[in-house]
């Protein structure tokens, strides 16, 4: 029986996604559950699996197309069937989605009515606006409420006339701009000295990173605490453990040990193992740590679940898997969600110290720099020690200064006494 493959909701409240690439071609035999395409969401590029079995007869959405969730992207046929079966399903799908245009160009802008209609416009719509049901995505409703826009007067560009986030953003853009004070002087640019540049359209992931981090930095009250940590004992312990693991093929990295150390510290300072949700703080009994990983498309934070219950070798295996699949763009969407705290390590790049931006709704993120030799005072005498600076960025709505200080104290103590990581 002919089957249409539709764009899945790979992200909660997703309205659309981009077809990044096709892994199969027309004429290929496809099995249910087989990866057939890579779909780019706001957080990552993930593999999409076929929802049916048959021969790939038609690709509806080409690479680069922005496709609404639930809209067809490909069609499958079974032996004995012809293209008319796909045509029939497409016609039915068009009726169900309220449009025959299932794939939209990334640059297309939705049309929206003015956020503040004239009395005549409002009057023309009053007769049925109180009775007709308005369909809108949750994020569109939230943005409309924040902007004070009556979305009942908007024209939806989503499936079946559904109002989506882009419609609300277009309405906000159509509002009368706030009058800005006149500049006292106008700067004249010398066109002849204008620098050359290369313009590159931001990917959905890059735009999501920009939006989320800007929102975090401007709405989450950050505060910062830094500690210097002696790394000699940890590095010696790592060397001994790696000697024992040589036959397994696993090798502990400093980052693996830092993940375990953070987990141990969060078990000791449970008030920091939390997330912020509107007017509620959630405290967790287990520790799931998001680890910042740099990819070609941008920064992602896959979550290692149950770190507090894992052995060091288990953490190493999990981290190796995350690194390999992150580089190949194979991280699943569910692996990017959840978590209770974040670790970001730039030590491998020689960065001495830095302050990271919190990954909401996490209570905080610890940023670690490079391990380097420094002169320190020991019993009143100068000695050379291998040191690392760790900086906590904490959400003051969840974590108070004293709690943050205790967390960093515990993190430092565990690293400087690494045998605790082995029990």
Q: In this structure, how many other beta carbons lie within 10 angstroms of the beta carbon of residue 62?
A: 10
Q: Quote the tokens at residue 47.
A: 């593999």
Looking only at the bridges linking them, the beta strands covering 289-291 and 303-304 are antiparallel
Cis peptide before 37 (omega within 30 of 0): no
Between CA 281 and CA 397 the distance in angstroms is 9
- Nearest-CA neighbor of 412 among 382, 384, 392? 392
Between CA 301 and CA 289 the distance in angstroms is 9
Three-state DSSP state, 152: helix
| Phi, psi values for residue 278, rounded to 5° | 55, -105
Q: Work out the burial of residue 375: count CB atoms within 10 Å of its CB; fewer than 13 is exposed, 13-18 middle, 19 or more buried.
A: exposed
Contact partners, residue 329, CB within 8 Å, separation at least 6: 38, 44, 45, 46, 295, 297
The HSE-up count of residue 329 (CA atoms within 13 Å, CB side) is 18
Between CA 168 and CA 111 the distance in angstroms is 10
DSSP 302-329: -EETTGGG--HHHHHHHHHHHHHHHHTT
- Nearest-CA neighbor of 345 among 258, 242, 237? 258
* Per annotation, catalytic residue among 3, 277, 362, 396: 396
Residue the block writes with tokens 């934070």: 301
Catalytic residue list contains 396: yes
The rounded Cα 195 to chain-centroid distance in angstroms is 33
| Phi, psi values for residue 58, rounded to 5° | -155, 135
Positions marked active-site: 396
């Amino acid at each position: 029986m002919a089957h249409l493959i539709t764009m899945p909701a790979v992200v909660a409240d997703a309205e659309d996604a981009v077809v990044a690439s096709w892994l199969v071609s027309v004429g290929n035999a496809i099995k249910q559950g087989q990866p057939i395409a890579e779909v780019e969401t706001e957080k990552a590029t993930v593999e999409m699996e076929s929802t049916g079995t048959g021969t790939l007869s038609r690709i509806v959405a080409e690479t680069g197309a922005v496709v609404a969730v639930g809209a067809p992207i490909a069609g499958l046929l079974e032996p004995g069937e012809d293209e008319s079966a796909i045509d029939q399903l497409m016609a039915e799908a068009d009726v169900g989605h309220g449009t025959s245009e299932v794939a939209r160009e990334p640059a297309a802008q939705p049309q929206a009515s003015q956020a503040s209609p004239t009395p005549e416009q409002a009057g023309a719509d009053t007769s049925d606006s109180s009775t007709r049901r308005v369909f809108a995505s949750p994020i569109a409703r939230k943005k409309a409420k924040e902007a004070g826009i009556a979305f009942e007067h908007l024209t939806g560009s989503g499936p079946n006339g559904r109002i989506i986030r882009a419609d609300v953003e277009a309405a906000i853009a159509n509002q009368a701009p706030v009058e800005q004070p006149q500049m006292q002087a106008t700067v004249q640019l010398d066109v002849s000295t204008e620098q050359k540049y290369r313009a590159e359209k931001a990917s959905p992931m890059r735009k999501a990173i920009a939006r989320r981090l800007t929102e975090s930095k401007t709405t989450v009250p950050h505060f910062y605490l830094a500690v210097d940590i002696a790394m000699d004992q940890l590095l010696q312990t790592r060397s001994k453990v790696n000697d024992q693991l040589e036959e397994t093929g696993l090798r502990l990295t400093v980052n693996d040990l830092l993940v375990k150390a953070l987990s141990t510290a969060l078990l000791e300072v449970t008030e920091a193992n939390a997330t912020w949700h509107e007017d509620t703080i959630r405290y967790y009994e287990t520790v799931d740590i998001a680890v910042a990983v740099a990819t070609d498309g941008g920064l992602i934070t896959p979550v290692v679940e149950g770190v507090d219950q894992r052995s060091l070798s288990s953490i190493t295996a999990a981290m190796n898997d995350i690194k390999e699949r992150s580089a190949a763009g194979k991280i699943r969407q569910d692996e990017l969600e959840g978590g209770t705290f974040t670790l970001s390590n730039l030590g491998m790049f020689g960065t001495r110290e830095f302050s990271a931006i919190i990954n909401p709704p996490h209570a905080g993120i610890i940023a670690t720099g490079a391990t380097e030799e420094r002169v320190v005072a020991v019993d009143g005498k100068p000695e050379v020690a291998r040191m690392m600076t760790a900086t906590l960025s904490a959400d003051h709505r969840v974590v108070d200064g004293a709690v943050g200080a205790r967390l960093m104290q515990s993190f430092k103590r565990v690293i400087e006494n690494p045998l605790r990581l082995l029990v």
